[in-house]
Amino acid sequence: MFGGFILLKICLSLCCSKVTDNAKNSLASLKRKNPRLEPTLAIIQAHNDQLTQEANKNLAKEIGLRVIHICLPEGSTKDEIVSEILRLNEDPNVQGLALDLPESLCSSKVLNAVKPEKDVDGLSSVNLGRLVHGDVCDCLVPPTVCAVMELLEDIGGKKVLLVGTHGAEGAALQSVLQRRGAAVLSCHWGAPQLQSELRHADAVVFGSTKPHDVPVSCTKPGATIINCARDPLPEKHSYGQQNNPAAEKTVGSLAVAMRMQNMVKNMERWIQSQQYRKWDLHSLKLQPVSPVPSDIEISRAQSPKAVDVLAKEIGLLTDEIEIYGQTKAKVRLSLLERLKDQPDGKYVLVAGITPTPLGEGKSTVTVGLVQALTAHLNINSFACLRQPSQGPTFGVKGGAAGGGYAQVIPMEEFNLHLTGDIHAITAANNLLAAAIDARILHENTQSDKSLYTRLVPVVNGVRGFSAIQLARLRRLGINKTDPKTLTEEEISKFVRLDIDPSTITWQRVVDTNDRFLRRITVGQANTEKGFVRQAQFDIAVASEIMAILALTTSLQDMKERLGRMVVANDKKGQPVTAEDLGVTGALAVLMKDAIKPTLMQTLEGTPVFVHAGPFANIAHGNSSVLADKIALKLVGEKGFVVTEAGFGADIGMEKFFNIKCRASGLVPSVVVLVATVRALKMHGGGPNVTAGAPLKKEYTEENLQLVADGCCNLQKQIQITQLFGVPVVVALNVFKTDSPAEVDLVCKIAKESGAFDAVPCHHWSAGGKGAVKLAQAVEKAANQKTSFKYLYSLELPIVEKIRIIAQKVYGAQDIELSPAAQSQVDRYTRQGFGNLPICMAKTHLSLSHQPERKGVPTGFILPISDVRASIGAGFIYPLVGTMSTMPGLPTRPCFYDIDLDPITEQVKGLF
């Protein structure tokens, strides 16, 4: 008997070694293919079992796994264990989760708290359901069950008795045994037939410790006895009689090895889950009606998908989204690392002709195009849109969610607050503005010694520099880290920024059209000790921080850009930055969530990223680089990402190519140029179009001559696109007042003027179905060979770059800089900023600087009244004529029509 026991121990040891070696080799192979892989298994333990803990640690170390043991007190409740499980579920550094708990705590509540994808023990209902249904490739067999099956020899047709097995583990064991062809009978310890069944079973599996008062008679000679009881590891129980030659096998160590093997299998699945996955998107059905209802009525008539469902459909992982309510989610930037080897899709820009004050529907075309591509042509596509400012939403233009049956839903959430990005920008911007004025005040009223004492305070008896202060010391050439060692001269250099108040360019912002904030006086309270200066507010989306958000490529890049923002000059003419003020880290903290794009959906359930919202007339007017980059990975090589540039092609598109493409390194495949008969008639000499006023009859009746005359603006915008070597498709946004002859005329002229194609679009009234021909034209154009090029070299002088834009894009004869503008150009060149691209701040209502000049003005001199620099964003922006960075409210703003139903909490009157 003793010899048999030794033989059994050798057999178990060999099984354990075989499983361990297999797991070790498999993991080594995974690590060779994924060098940064650090597989981590978390084990929650709620009883003092040092032997099991050591066994887990030793085997994990041998295989190459990292194990974290969470040892909870023995009296821990189920709720406390579940709380710990939920924490580990959300830890992205933990890929597997196992439970070593007393049987009394292994309830379904506890077992099902473990995320199925982290369930190494395979005991959650999701995993067991797959196992029972035979989905073996998509589940993990519980380690104890694996160990039992390893120890049992061929059991087909044999009788297996399960004693004291219950719960999830018992169900799994019974299912696997039956699939292997065994006749399985299950008994509890108190069953009257237990003795009889023991004598007839070919194999007996004990699932729990035998009660002392339950006698066990002789088992069948030669029967295999396996003990799965949750007892300490080196265990031997004599459940059979001494005269039984069958030795008992205990699964303890082997089950631990099987758990580690499961962890390696889980890593294989985890790595597979990180790869690009084909979309499984289910479109939402549209049932357009005529006449077309209001935008908000259409939006409310559609039931959007839950955002986590949409995220799963397009291949996002659960830990890559942060859900806001039911229909919005932030997407984490970690996705870019996961899909870094995935080829990008096609990149499409939607621009437009010079618009009327009503807008010509670029957002609507963008949304209609992706609805057509994905919902009707089954091509992966993503729309990337800007977040609208609440200034125009409550002012005159309205929202930017598209319109009719081509819009982003829920449209009221899209147009109001969204996920708070603009509020974060406002907070960050105004924190920096406050820091500037406060620093000037403190420097004006304190000695060097007092400033130094306050800037470098004693904390816990020690005076020390913060990290950002050490960085400033290095920039000043002071290579010291001990505050006590600075000389008086070094202290003075360190504490005094000596900001020249007359050079401050950083303004406070608010996301409201408020004309009375265009010029203000700050510092009038007695507490500010006479430090009074003239200042102003800008609209929030004109903040350089918004421009940075749209152009940044990572959190680190954003932080560096925030630090480089120049807010003023010192009295020696040198730039003062946010980094000098010590506020960079705080700004990054305020912006840490805003950097993540927001996922929403169209009326037909196709995905949309909403991120950043700079105006195109006073900023660069494009959505974020990050949203585009993430979307290009998600759509796959044959998919399309459609993004929009603000206002006309002369403004938003020019900045897209010369600024955004330089920042992103991305190359567009095709430009969609949006035109309307209404705007063309205006450019052909039609009467003024005024927001809120009825259209004159020229715009509602057929007039082919006006249309033909106005096509000069369309032709000019096509020529501007061709400057960049990208094919252009004209999308004619058709209104119900447009005649077939007018539509045909525009398309004919567009094609004759060099457009790859020109397509009438009816997405506003028909949804994606009305833009299918546009989608097909875009798909064909995107397969054309492009010869993309920038308009100018960054090495050219600032003035020359401005002149190239003015002459080649706007059609100006020349430019004229005011003395103040020339002085700024000289200063920026002297400070080393001359190699930045140009971001023209110009009216969007004309190719010239004069809004009333329609069509294609020529022979004009473009006046540059001022030149400013957004060094953090990375561009110089000249102000053309009298550009305001704070819009005003009209006589009758949109807010007259906006209301809230106090019963249903529904927004009324929002378009």
Give the active site residues.
Answer: 362, 364, 386, 397, 616, 647, 735, 764
Distance of CA 634 to CAs 173, 247, 313, 621, 700, Å?
40, 57, 11, 24, 43
Gap between the Cα atoms of 78 and 71, Å rounded: 14
Q: Which residue has the tokens 């295989």?
A: 63
Cite the beta strand spans of 615-715 per DSSP E: 640-644, 670-675
Compute the chain's Rg from CA coordinates. 35
CB 248 within 8 A of CB 223: no
CA distance 404 to 224: 73
Ramachandran area for residue 477 (φ above 0: left; ψ -120 to 50: alpha; else beta)? left
- Return the SS3 of 197: helix
- Enumerate the β-bridge partners of residue 508: 537
User: Which among 745, 111, 490 has a CA at the least distance from the CA of 481?
Assistant: 490
The answer to whether the beta carbons of residues 42 and 98 sit under 8 Å apart is yes
- Angle value at C-alpha 72, between 67 and 73, nearest 5 degrees: 150
Q: What is the DSSP string of 595-635?
A: TSPEEEEETTS-EEEE-----SSSS--B--HHHHHHHHHHH
Helical pair 584-591 and 544-551, crossing angle rounded to 10 deg: 60
With 0-12 / 13-18 / 19 or more C-beta atoms within 10 angstroms meaning exposed / middle / buried, residue 487 is exposed
Burial of 205 per CB tally in 10 Å (0-12, 13-18, 19+): buried
Token pair recorded at residue 907: 């927004």
- Contact predicate 195/219, CB 8 Å: no
Identify whether the C-beta of residue 873 lies closer than 8 Å to the C-beta of residue 861. Answer: no
- Do 113 and 186 contact (CB within 8 A), yes or no? no
**Which residues, 6+ apart, have CB-to-CB distance to 641 below 8 Å?**
345, 346, 347, 348, 381, 382, 384, 628, 631, 632, 635
Are 907 and 898 contacting, i.e. CB atoms less than 8 angstroms apart?
A: yes
d(CA 269, CA 33) in angstroms, rounded, equals: 14
What per-residue string of b and e applies to 793-823 under the rule 16 or more CB within 10 Å gives b? eeeeebbebbbbbbeebbbbeebebeeebee
What phi and psi, each to the nearest 5 degrees, are found at residue 55? -60, -45
